[in-house]
């Protein structure tokens, strides 16, 4: 998907969220959102802070915006434990059918696809709810961590 479309899509979600939560869609938040869409995905907060440097946006505003983007369904937040805990952010795309295996011990993330599960979810109808996309995360322990325990 083109970056411009991704941004337009994300902005639409931000406006919808702002409307239902009595939040003013501040101009500064739009700039942060635009920078977010242009970052290589997934990213960490420090990368966004660096990207926003020229715009003179405070770190507090960026963290606050990230929180809002997650709540608005624009970003997905995931915690990884690679030596130390790291919080990663990733844009949620309308077209991506998201399935991941996450190791609770080391934080390793593996994407997978399962047509049978996908079909089940896509065919499901929810009353008073229009599904746009979904994310399926299966937690467990990876082969490497399991073999370390056995040794
Ligand atoms: Zn592991």
CATH code: domain of residue 141: 3.30.1490.190
Torsions phi, psi for 100 (to 5 deg)? -140, 150
Ligand 1 centroid to Cα of residue 90, in Å, is: 21
| Whether 62 and 115 share a structural domain | no
Q: How far is the CA of 112 from the centre of ligand 1 (A)?
A: 16
Question: What is the whole-number distance in angstroms between the Cα of residue 107 and the centre of ligand 1?
Answer: 6
128: left (phi > 0), else alpha (psi -120 to 50), else beta? left
CA 61–ligand 1 middle distance (angstroms): 34
pLDDT at 97: 63
Encoded tokens for 125: 């109808």
pTM score: 0.65
Please tell me whether residues 68 and 124 are part of one structural domain. no
Q: Give me the pLDDT at residue 151, please.
A: 64
What is the torsion angle, in degrees rounded to the nearest 10, for the CA atoms of residue 15, residue 21, residue 22 and residue 23? -60
- For the chain, strand residue ranges (E) read 43-44, 75-82, 84-91, 98-103, 109-111, 135-140
Average pLDDT over residues 56-73: 93
Residues 64 and 117 in one domain: no
How far, in Å, is the centroid of ligand 1 from the Cα of 72? 30
Q: Considering the domain boundaries, does residue 66 fall inside one?
A: yes
Mean predicted lDDT score pLDDT of the chain = 87
Report the pLDDT value the prediction gives residue 84, as an integer from 0 to 100: 79
Residue 83 has pLDDT above 60, yes or no: yes
For the chain, what is the domain count? 2
Question: With bands split at pLDDT 50, 70 and 90, how would you rate the model's confidence at 94?
Answer: low
> Residue 45's domain spans which residues?
3-78
């Amino acid at each position: 998907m083109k970056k411009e479309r991704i941004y337009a899509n994300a902005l639409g979600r931000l406006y919808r969220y702002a409307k239902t939560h009595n939040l003013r869609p501040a101009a500064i938040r739009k700039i942060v959102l635009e920078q977010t869409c242009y970052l290589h995905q997934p990213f960490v907060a420090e990368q966004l802070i660096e990207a926003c440097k020229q715009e003179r946006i405070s770190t507090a505003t960026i963290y606050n915006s990230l929180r809002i983007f997650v709540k608005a369904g624009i970003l997905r937040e995931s915690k990884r434990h690679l030596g130390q805990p790291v919080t990663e952010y990733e844009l949620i795309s309308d077209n991506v059918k998201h399935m991941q295996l996450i190791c609770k011990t080391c934080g390793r993330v593996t994407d997978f696809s399962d047509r049978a599960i996908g079909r089940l979810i896509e065919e499901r109808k929810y009353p008073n709810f229009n599904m746009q996309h979904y994310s399926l995360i299966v937690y467990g322990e990876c082969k490497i961590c399991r073999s370390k325990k056995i040794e």
